[in-house]
Amino acid sequence: MANEWDVSGNAAASRTFDGPTGWRKFYNNHRDVIIAAIILGPMLFWWMVVSGFPTAFGFLLGFFKWGEITASPKFVWFDNYIHFFRDPQYYMALWRSIWIGLLVTGLNMLIGFLIALLMNLSLFGKAIYRTMWYVPVVTSVVATTQIFNIFLDINNGVIDNLIKRLGYEPILWQYSVGWGVFWIVVYSLWKGVGGMALLWLAGLQAVDPILYEAAEIDGANRLQKFWNVTLPGIKPIATYAIITGLIGAVQIYEQVMFITLGGPYGQTEVLVFRILRDGFFDFNMGMAGASSVVLFAVVFIFTVFYFRMFASDNEKSDPRRGRRKRQ
C-alpha cells in the first residue's frame, strides 16, 4: 500500500513536471478519506457486529411476542409497551431504577465532592488516602457482593452477630424491602464514591491557580474563593459527573442480582435485572426488548439534557472552542 507523502524523497524524484499521476494523484487528492476508510472500515464492521446490529435488533424485539427461542416471533405492534405500563411489576421496576439511581448519584456526588475537597488539601500521605478510597472501585463485583452477603447472612452474619452481642434482636435483612434497598445503596456508594472523588479531584486541580491569586488580590476570603472561583471552575466536570452518574445509576443491577436477588417478592427488583430475568430465564424476549427500549428512553432524556447543558456551557466559557482549521 502506497502511503507516502507526496514530498517524500522517492515520490519527489520520480515526479514529472505535471505532478503525480494515476494512483498517486488519486491518493494525494483523497489522502484523508483513504486513510480514514482503511482504519475505520474494520472498526465500523466490528462495531456493527458487537453493538450496532444487536442494538437495532433489540429495538425491533420490543414489537414482537417471542416466547421460546425455537418458536418464530409474532409481530404484535405496541402490545408489549402497553403491557409494560399496565403491569405494576414493570413500571414499578422502572420507578425503582430511577429513584434508586437518583439517590445513589446524589449521595455519591455529595460525599465524593467533600472527600475531593479534603484530598485537595496538601496533606502528608495523600497518595495513600487516594489509594485507600479508590480500592473498592478496582475490586470485582462478584467478590465484594459475596462479602456483603456474608455480612448480611441470616445464620452467621457478621452484622447480626454484632447486633446480638450488643444485646438487640438480629434483623432479617433479606426479608425487608427497606433494608434491601439500604444495602444496595450502601454497596453502590462504597463501590462508587472513590471514583467520584478522584473525578472531582481532577476537576479541582484543573482550576487555574491564577484565578485564586487574582481573587486573593481582590481580597476574597476562603468562602468567597470557593463560591466564585472553585464552583464555576468545576462546572463542566460537574455536569459530566451528574449525567454519566445518572446514566450509570439507573442501570445498576449487579448489586440487586447478587445481594437481594430482587427479593423479597420482587420488591427490590430494578428494571435491568427484570430485563435479564425476562430474557435469560423466562424467555420472554418481547418484554425484554420493550423494557430495554423504555430504559433507553429514560437514559436518552438524561443524555439530551446533558448535551444541552454541556454544549451551551462550553460555548459560553471557552471562546477558543470551535472548528479547528488546518494550516
Partner 1 sequence: MKVKPINLFGHIILLVGGLVMIYPLIFMVLASTFTKQEYAATVLGPFPIAIKPTFANFRIIVGAAKDHLVQIYFFNSLFRTLYSVVFASLTAFLGGFVFARLRFRGKDGLFLFMLATAMIPGVVALIPTYIEYARWPYAGGNNIFMGGKGILDSWWVYMIGGPALNIMGAFLVKQSMEKVPIELDEAAKIDGASTFRLIFQILLPLQLPILAFIAITTAQATWNDWGTPFFFTSSDKLQTLPAAITRISSIATSAGVPDYPLMITLGLGITFPMLLIFFFFQRFFVQGLANAGLKG
Residue 119 contacts residue 126 (beta carbons within 8 Å): yes
Identify residues 4-33 at the interface with partner 1 (CB under 8 A): 4-5, 7-9, 31-33
Cell numbers describing residue 180: 434491601
Of 69, 166, 210, 217, the residue at the interface with partner 1 (CB under 8 A) is 69
Nearer of residues 6 and 177 to partner 1, judged by Cβ: 6
Identify residues 223-262 at the interface with partner 1 (CB under 8 A): 232-237, 240, 247, 251, 253
The C-alpha atoms of residue 4 and residue 28 are separated, in whole angstroms, by 9
Nearer of residues 107 and 177 to partner 1, judged by Cβ: 107
Terminal CA-to-CA distance of the chain, rounded, Å? 27
Of 15, 24, 65, 130, the residue at the interface with partner 1 (CB under 8 A) is 130
Our finding on whether 288 is near partner 1 (CB under 8 A) is yes
The C-alpha atoms of residue 304 and residue 266 are separated, in whole angstroms, by 31
Phi-psi region of 170 (alpha: psi -120 to 50; beta: other; left: phi over 0): beta
Our finding on whether 123 is near partner 1 (CB under 8 A) is yes
Our finding on whether 154 is near partner 1 (CB under 8 A) is no
Nearer of residues 35 and 110 to partner 1, judged by Cβ: 35
Smallest distance from the beta carbon of 257 to partner 1, in angstroms? 10
Q: How many CB atoms lie within 10 A of CB 147?
A: 12
The interface region with partner 1, picked from 17-25, 148-156, 213-221, 259-267 by CB under 8 A, is: 148-156
Residue 90 contacts residue 84 (beta carbons within 8 Å): yes
Q: What is the DSSP string of 149-177?
A: HHHH-TTT-HHHHHHHHTTSPPP-GGG-H
Please state the φ and ψ torsions of residue 48, each to the nearest 5 degrees: -60, -45
Tell me the C-alpha to C-alpha distance, in Å, between residue 251 and each of 93, 100, 102, 175, 213: 11, 10, 11, 24, 42
- Give the x-and-dash track for 73-112 against partner 1 (CB under 8 A): ----------------------------------------
Of 19, 21, 36, 311, the residue at the interface with partner 1 (CB under 8 A) is 36
The C-alpha atoms of residue 256 and residue 261 are separated, in whole angstroms, by 5
Of 106, 299, 305, 309, the residue at the interface with partner 1 (CB under 8 A) is 299
Our finding on whether 54 is near partner 1 (CB under 8 A) is yes
Q: How many CB atoms lie within 10 A of CB 260?
A: 26
Q: Which of 244, 282, 274, 247 is nearest to 94 (CA)?
A: 274
Nearer of residues 147 and 172 to partner 1, judged by Cβ: 147
Smallest distance from the beta carbon of 247 to partner 1, in angstroms? 6
Of 26, 53, 226, 227, the residue at the interface with partner 1 (CB under 8 A) is 53
Smallest distance from the beta carbon of 165 to partner 1, in angstroms? 8
Nearer of residues 24 and 177 to partner 1, judged by Cβ: 24
Identify residues 179-218 at the interface with partner 1 (CB under 8 A): 190, 194, 198-199, 201-203, 205-208
